[in-house]
Structure 1
Amino acid sequence: MGVTTSDKQTNQFNTDTVYSYIDEAKNVIVPLSPISIFAARNPWSGLEHQRFDEVATMLWNARNVDIYPSAAIMLEAQAQGEINTEIVEDLTEQWLAQAQFTIPKNEAEQYVRKAITLESPSVTQKDQQHIETLLKKRSDLNETHHMRYQQKILVSQYLRAENGQPLNKIVDYHVIKWCKLYLDDAQAGWTMPNRECGLFYAWRHLAQHDPALTKQQRDRIKQLSDNPQEVIKMTLTQLDVPQDKVQGYFENHLLALPGWSGMMLWQEQNNNKESKLIEDYLALRLGLEWVFVAPNLPVERNTNQVVPEVVQAIIKWVNWSNFSIDQWFELTEAQQRQYLAFSAQFDDHQRRKLWLEAWEMTYKQQLQAQVEPETTDEVSRSVEQSSMSTITPQAQLAFCIDVRSEPFRRQIEAAGPFETIGIAGFFGLPIEKCELDAPHTHASLPVMNEPQHRIQEYTHEKQPHLFQQRKHTLESVTYTFKKMKQNVLPSLLLPELSGPWLTLQMLSRSFVPGRTGTLIRNFYKRWLRKPQDTALTLEHQPHQHDDELPVGFTQQEQINYAQQTLKMMDLTHDFAPLVVLCGHGSHSANNPYAASLDCGACGGAASGFNAKVLAQLCNLPEVRKGLVDHGIEIPEGTVFAAAEHHTSVDDLEWIYLPDLTEQAQTAFEQIQQALPDISKRANTQRLAQLPNHHITKKDPLKEANRLANDWSEIRPEWGLARNAAFIIGQRSLTEGTDLQGRVFLHNYDWEQDSDGALLANIIGGPATVAQWINLQYYASTVAPHYYGSGSKTTQTITAGIGVMQGNASDLMTGLPWQSVMKGDDKMYHAPIRLLIVVEAPHSFVKRLLQENEAFAQKLKNGWIQLASIDENKQWHDWPANSVS
């Protein structure tokens, strides 16, 4: 029998209204994919209609989450020359000039100039107790002060269990347990009963038998309705949540465990059978909250207490002004409120906000000095270099905009008559790939887009090939091993059967990881060697079911995709004899985050497959003939090939090499000859950035290979750490400049983009993905306990979908500590917001901001920075107030 309420209570919350509150509340979380198809996500993408500082305040108030870099990080950046203190001082003076004072101006300025140093106020324990004692007599200050402090929004935050633990934490513990069971991806031996009926139904019918709950608590669960909507409305009424606070209440429940709720949101968006999973999740959480707090209802929300932030504010005034403690309490009530109001106006968030802006402005100035010619002579040299670059090179190599490509591209360009190009690594192909005999397909494009075509790899051989037989054998062994581990009786035999092999593997991988990794890789290459005649389904093929993606492309689609991508690359004329489309991927051993190193945008899909598809399209005679109608004439002697840049070892693997013309063969041989030295120089530079790897006496190629194959290595490569800028312009703008692997580079020629369509596509696609990556690294650095995933050494693989810290934490969906920090207290990633630099006239940027509302909103609300370089090579800043 379900819980009953009066008609008045039942009608308090309208069903449609509750649905609308749930839909709005979802904006505080983002869909988070399983770790095997890891994709970088901006954790605040649903909140960009608010200013960055407003979101910072909301998260601090709601969950005590601070999204500004800490004072320690700021001071470390200053010591490393990344923050110019003169800019900090200038920003402080600007803030003072705009501030409104209700206290003496000289006292306010003294306070601000002391606070901006990021100095921590000091006080003895005796003095702090004295302040608290005096403050208890002034409860009015606690009730009316204007400080930011964590507000207890959930009813369960006001109550504690017998062991002293807050009830909201106990609710979290039980929610985690049931989320793990429900979302398990074949890791558990037994599936959750009633799972097909939905999360809430399955939980309610199982939790009635949960021994971790008391009999009274289990009885309350039995009273709940099977209808999650009714449970939500009932619990809101029982917990006395005002209607104007309902959305905030839902948001706090979602933010309590953003990893698990984010995974629920991803499942809801990607599984038609889970269309109301967030509603189920909220019903489960609210139902559990009611179960635990019901004996204590109604709960008195007592806020009449000494607020620690008020104590800290008084301590700051005592430290940073001429007040003594006694003098402070001699002030009138009105004066104290004025001083508290001012310290709230220039609080810790505000001072670190100014430091963050100074950090970003410092980097902007440093980048400007690298790419903007400062003198007439330099402009002349730039023009001369530009004219020289029109000479057709021997080979053109197109790389992903990924920041890891930039140092490798620079080494290639220095090695010979080679030109490199930057473009999003999926090469504009909205495809789902199905590699030869793969059990599953994989979307091979940024997660913000949906695939439109399926491309399959196949062989012409009629009989099952040896490759397929061997692949099936390995898969059968793996499957059998996993099933034996999960079943009671077979698991008793497993150590006897697998012990010798696993012992040998453990010893070899531990003591000679480099050699072992090479042997294993070579074994797989030989054992699973694909047939020589594999082909791709490039031509359109009829499909059997309406809900399936079309296989291949029509001839017009082939031409259109080739034409669009070549234009995006700014490669429509002056083709080299050899054009190499370079995808990228990574390799590391024993790494749950391996997919994040393959591609930060495409759910772990290495992009070599896309490169191969586009290269084959561009080699088709009918495609080349069709491109002529679009003004693109590819010389008959030009050949397109495909390769893959392995970012963890900085080498290039050829994955598609058709018959070459004489000139293309010469170019290929030149690249092959230069590659070992290119790889050595690139690895030398990259490994020097890793902590504890002094390679002066080590072969950089062997060391890189060891790191990639060492299963104890917590940092095989830095990934996209320290990303800071996205430059949209011609390569001549940055060619020869050491950008330190911090910049996404996308080719663009505004003179070929009269209507601005190309720039709009770059901003809407690659630049947005880069911003997601940037803010995920930012969030994982500034709030690692909430948006990161902690240390790799203490992570637990959970439900086959992600990692936890221990056995009962939130699903840790961000980046591990080792991906952003050199050590426990040593920063590596610089948490600054992405700077987008566009090489185009002023009018182009104005048109972009007028026509692209989403992009303009990001700039206006402080989620990105924007600068441009005009046709005269002059730098222009576009501050937030550039947007009307």
Structure 2
Amino acid sequence: MNTTVVKELNIEGNGSTLDFHIHDLVESASKVIVPLGPITNFAARNPWASLEDQPFEQVARRLKETSNVDIYPSDAVLKSAWKKGNIKQEFVELKLQQWLDLQSLNLPRDVAFQFCQVALLQNETSFESLSSTDLESVVKEISQYQLSFPKKTNVQTYSERLERMNGKQLNQLLNGQMIKWSKLYLDESQAAWSMPNREKGFYEAWRQLVSNDPAINRTVRKELKELPMQADQALMAALLGLQIPYLEVQQYLEAHLLALPGWAGMMLWRSQQSNKEENLVTEYLAVRLSLEYAFIKGYLPLPQLEEDEEELFRLLVVAWAKWGNMPTNSWLSLTFEEVEARLTLAHRFDQIVRNRILLEAWEQTYEVQLKKTIGSRASLEQDKAPMAQFAFCIDVRSEPFRRKLEEAGPFETFGTAGFFGLPIETCELGQKHSHPSLPILFKPQFKVNETASAMELKNYQERQQSVNLLNYSFKTMKQSLPSSLLLPEITGPWYSLQTIARSFFPRSTGMLIRKLRKNWLRKPSTELTLQQEQTNKDELPIGFSKEERVFYARQALRMMGLTEHFAPLVVICGHGSHSTNNPYASALDCGACGGASSGFNARVLATLCNMPEVRKALGEEGISIPHDTVFAAAEHLTTSDELQWIYVPNLSSEAKEAFDFIQNKLSKVSEQAVAERLLKLPGIEGNRKNPKAHAQRLGEDWSEVRPEWGLARNATFIIGNRELTKDCHLDGRAFLHNYDWRKDNNGSILENIIAGPVTVAQWINLQYYASTVAPHYYGSGNKTTQTVTAGIGVMQGNASDLLSGLPWQSVMQSDQEIYHEPLRLLVVIEAPTEYVQRILDKNQAFHQKVKNGWIRLASIDSEGYWESWT
């Protein structure tokens, strides 16, 4: 055992020092993963959220070395974009020149540029296969120069190294064990038998059971019986046994977390939900490293892996033959300095650099196209005051619907964050449990209940309980061994009939079932608890005080830019989706709010804005809402592009006229929007007679793997007046947030937009990006072969990592062609340069993202000048 490690880790010292060191190291190592909640409350997560203090390229190299994961688009994806004209050659050459400007090479610039350009475009020169004899003689000659290049850091786990060295499948065995035990511990009451002693924590529950695991041989089980009682001590013992030097411990822990980032990410999320499980990541690592040490103990110490320099030289010589038109024998006539210069260029200009340049050129091509689209719009002034105003979520799926709605009549639309700035937890009528209805960035501060009269509520709950009881009984019988044998006989006829109906008539069957359920439940008319009610100190306050009601109404109106010139009818529009038999259903509702649709929030805000005392207070502050203006709430159903009313109070005569006019136009707007969207789905003919009915069928079909595209192809976040983008066909790729810099002297509104909506949009963007470039690591693979496991997520088959990202069908047009373009989010701010500079100076986290390449930034000043900040 390494005594240096013992001393530095203080394994023999007092417990507090030991705990401090190991928990500190685990916390730092955990930055390579992100907390992942259950799929039922899906929320988009940036898989590199804690690594944004490092440049994107640096993280790409780190992940390639640790997990062999590429986070730049593949050669095939980049070639496809090039062929489609999405990557312009002028920008490729510009980015290449910028890269060469940063290099110090003892090589003529034109020679270096020509080599790199050919390598980028994959246009091989007159390359013919080199004879092995000539190639080996050149490599042998070069080897005598004793050239050296920066060594790659070996950050693989010992079990991975052993697997590479002699083919022992110990890493596979280790991952299988961790999947099995993690699944048992994290199970959300889906398993028929729960893991014993879960209340004692993951490590202790595992420690008491593992010695009886028949999948592990007796010798190893005997070793595991002697493990320490505490997880941190077991982790320390494993690190000491593996002889990991102290300075490499954090790196080694990172490699283990990245081995199964889904299960590790779920452990991290659970550790943040409860103080009882705050050390869950340490326990996870203690289990994993204890198993690894027990499995490979007999193979220690492992020999050091050394890079094959001759193989490296061979690859570099071949690169010059392919892309530099350099015959093999020409190397023998070069000086040492010339050989070194050429090899250095080929070594530095590796695949990561090449793909980085192509991606940046792709992103700049899109930025220039967007600039042209916005700059060429028809600047038409609205002839008359709007009859109605609609506030939509910034969600990219709202953009086509808003465009069609504005074309249909004198309507004005606004874009804002879809939870409307309400930090609430909601509880719908008859439900015992509430759920947060806001982005996962924030915590709810208030609770809003949906209520009805006592008698109506009692009757409704009884009807609801009968449905829930039936579902619970079926689940219990299915998991019980005796009753599960009888269950098919009882339910067979009913489920056979339902299977046939859902398979051949999905739209009609789904609508009929929902209609029957609705008629049975007969939900009564309801009210919201917006007036503050007394609660316990440990509970969230129910409702708002008068000051709070005014504050949240004012804040919402200011954020959406609606503080004057109110129309007779103002519609607050949430959004949701509908799909059947879809574990990713919540991912289609809201990518920010943990799968919560935002119709409830829309109703809360509309109700607040209709309150006389709120209007009076707002009027005293300069936001005068006319007496005849009425706020209503609706929900944009993105699957079928329908607008469904969820709250329509008593209307004034002008508001009633606007409402009737909207009703006459909505059907056509819906058909136009859904027809435009359906054309993008694979296998859909462009001349369907009833696109709306077909969209509804997609939502009801339980075999449908792609009910809608969701937020695929999102690419830009535009912060500015609607006039900036009105009449622009942005192809459903833009998050649109209203903003008028003239009403934001101190920059607080822009600061809130950047800190909240932009951050959430970036998470969505990078989750789609990651699921496209690394679908089997950061995505979730093919939807048709997924297994929903433990009630928390999906796996491929029955023993894979817990897959946290989006399925293949959410980002791919076909097996060979991507649909989502993996571009990092472009934020465009309509404001003077000093406003943009101010936000960069004040928001260091945002500035860091821009500087390190995690997000891109451009601005449009008051004169229409476009400036790129990246």
- Per the TM alignment, residue 152 of structure 1 is displaced from its structure 2 partner at its CA by 4.8
Q: Where in structure 1 are there 5+ consecutive unaligned residues?
A: 880-884
Matches within 5 A, 1:202-351: 202-303=205-306, 305=308, 311-325=314-328, 328=331, 338-351=341-354
For each residue in 1:643-700, what CA deviation from the matched residue of structure 2 results, as whole angstroms up to 9, or x when unmatched? 0000000001111111111111110001111011011101110000101001403310
Which residue of 2 is the match for residue 882 of structure 1?
A: none
- Per the TM alignment, residue 172 of structure 1 is displaced from its structure 2 partner at its CA by 1.3
Q: Is the 8 A contact 1:142 1:304 kept in 2?
A: no
Which residue of 1 is the match for residue 636 of structure 2?
A: 645
- SS of 2:794's equivalent in the other structure is strand
Matches within 5 A, 1:811-826: 811-826=802-817
In 1, distance between residues paired with 2:574 and 2:699? 19
- Per the TM alignment, residue 115 of structure 1 is displaced from its structure 2 partner at its CA by 0.6
1:10 aligns with 2:23: no
- Per the TM alignment, residue 526 of structure 1 is displaced from its structure 2 partner at its CA by 1.6
Distance 1:807 1:393, change over 3 A: same
Q: Is the 8 A contact 1:788 1:813 kept in 2?
A: yes
Q: Is the 8 A contact 2:793 2:804 kept in 1?
A: yes
Q: Is the 8 A contact 2:106 2:338 kept in 1?
A: no
In 2, distance between residues paired with 1:206 and 1:120? 59
Name which of 42, 45, 63 aligns with 2:46. Answer: 42
1:538 aligns with 2:541: no
- Per the TM alignment, residue 300 of structure 1 is displaced from its structure 2 partner at its CA by 1.5
- SS of 1:94's equivalent in the other structure is helix
For each residue in 1:520-543, what CA deviation from the matched residue of structure 2 results, as whole angstroms up to 9, or x when unmatched? 1212222222112x1111011111
Q: Is the 8 A contact 1:22 1:250 kept in 2?
A: yes
Q: Is the 8 A contact 1:92 1:116 kept in 2?
A: no
How many percent identity over aligned positions? Answer: 50
Which stretch shows the higher mean deviation, 673-682 or 319-328? 319-328
- Per the TM alignment, residue 270 of structure 1 is displaced from its structure 2 partner at its CA by 1.5
Matches within 5 A, 1:477-516: 477-516=470-509
Distance 1:540 1:115, change over 3 A: same
Which residue of 2 is the match for residue 871 of structure 1?
A: 862
- SS of 2:26's equivalent in the other structure is helix
Matches within 5 A, 1:75-86: 75-86=79-90
In 2, distance between residues paired with 1:255 and 1:568? 39
- SS of 1:62's equivalent in the other structure is helix
Q: Is the 8 A contact 2:446 2:540 kept in 1?
A: yes
1:26 aligns with 2:30: yes
Which residue of 1 is the match for residue 13 of structure 2?
A: none
Name which of 503, 507, 518 aligns with 2:511. Answer: 518
- Per the TM alignment, residue 443 of structure 1 is displaced from its structure 2 partner at its CA by 0.4
Name which of 621, 625, 642 aligns with 1:630. Answer: 621
Name which of 670, 680, 701 aligns with 1:689. Answer: 680
Which amino acid in 2 is paired with 1:262?
A: G
In 1, distance between residues paired with 2:330 and 2:62? 34
Which amino acid in 1 is paired with 2:602?
A: A
For each residue in 1:744-782, what CA deviation from the matched residue of structure 2 results, as whole angstroms up to 9, or x when unmatched? 000111111110000000010001111110111011101
Which stretch shows the higher mean deviation, 565-574 or 114-123? 114-123
Which stretch shows the higher mean deviation, 844-853 or 136-145? 136-145
Q: Is the 8 A contact 1:143 1:303 kept in 2?
A: no
Name which of 703, 713, 731 aligns with 1:722. Answer: 713
Distance 1:621 1:9, change over 3 A: same
Which residue of 2 is the match for residue 708 of structure 1?
A: 699
In 2, distance between residues paired with 1:218 and 1:330? 63
- Per the TM alignment, residue 370 of structure 1 is displaced from its structure 2 partner at its CA by 1.5
Distance 1:139 1:204, change over 3 A: farther
In 2, distance between residues paired with 1:403 and 1:203? 45
Q: Where in structure 2 are there 5+ consecutive unaligned residues?
A: 11-17
Distance 1:134 1:697, change over 3 A: same
Which residue of 2 is the match for residue 110 of structure 1?
A: 114
Question: Structure 1 length normalisation: TM-score?
Answer: 0.94
1:73 aligns with 2:87: no
Distance 1:109 1:747, change over 3 A: closer
Matches within 5 A, 1:760-839: 760-839=751-830
- Per the TM alignment, residue 106 of structure 1 is displaced from its structure 2 partner at its CA by 5.0
The two structures, once aligned, show a CA RMSD in angstroms of 2.4
Which amino acid in 2 is paired with 1:670?
A: F
In 1, distance between residues paired with 2:123 and 2:235? 47
- Per the TM alignment, residue 872 of structure 1 is displaced from its structure 2 partner at its CA by 1.6
Distance 1:826 1:6, change over 3 A: closer
In 2, distance between residues paired with 1:405 and 1:105? 49
- SS of 1:456's equivalent in the other structure is strand
Matches within 5 A, 1:750-769: 750-769=741-760
Which stretch shows the higher mean deviation, 626-635 or 753-762? 626-635
In 2, distance between residues paired with 1:6 and 1:318? 48
Which residue of 1 is the match for residue 15 of structure 2?
A: none
- Per the TM alignment, residue 246 of structure 1 is displaced from its structure 2 partner at its CA by 1.1
In 2, distance between residues paired with 1:395 and 1:260? 48
Which amino acid in 1 is paired with 2:66?
A: A
Q: Is the 8 A contact 2:392 2:413 kept in 1?
A: yes
- Per the TM alignment, residue 331 of structure 1 is displaced from its structure 2 partner at its CA by 6.7
Which amino acid in 1 is paired with 2:817?
A: K
Q: Is the 8 A contact 2:44 2:592 kept in 1?
A: yes
Name which of 826, 829, 836 aligns with 1:845. Answer: 836
- Per the TM alignment, residue 739 of structure 1 is displaced from its structure 2 partner at its CA by 0.5
Distance 1:189 1:398, change over 3 A: same
Distance 1:407 1:322, change over 3 A: closer
Name which of 56, 61, 64 aligns with 1:57. Answer: 61
- SS of 2:728's equivalent in the other structure is coil
- Per the TM alignment, residue 80 of structure 1 is displaced from its structure 2 partner at its CA by 2.1
In 2, distance between residues paired with 1:347 and 1:513? 51
In 1, distance between residues paired with 2:29 and 2:618? 48
Q: Is the 8 A contact 1:372 1:874 kept in 2?
A: no
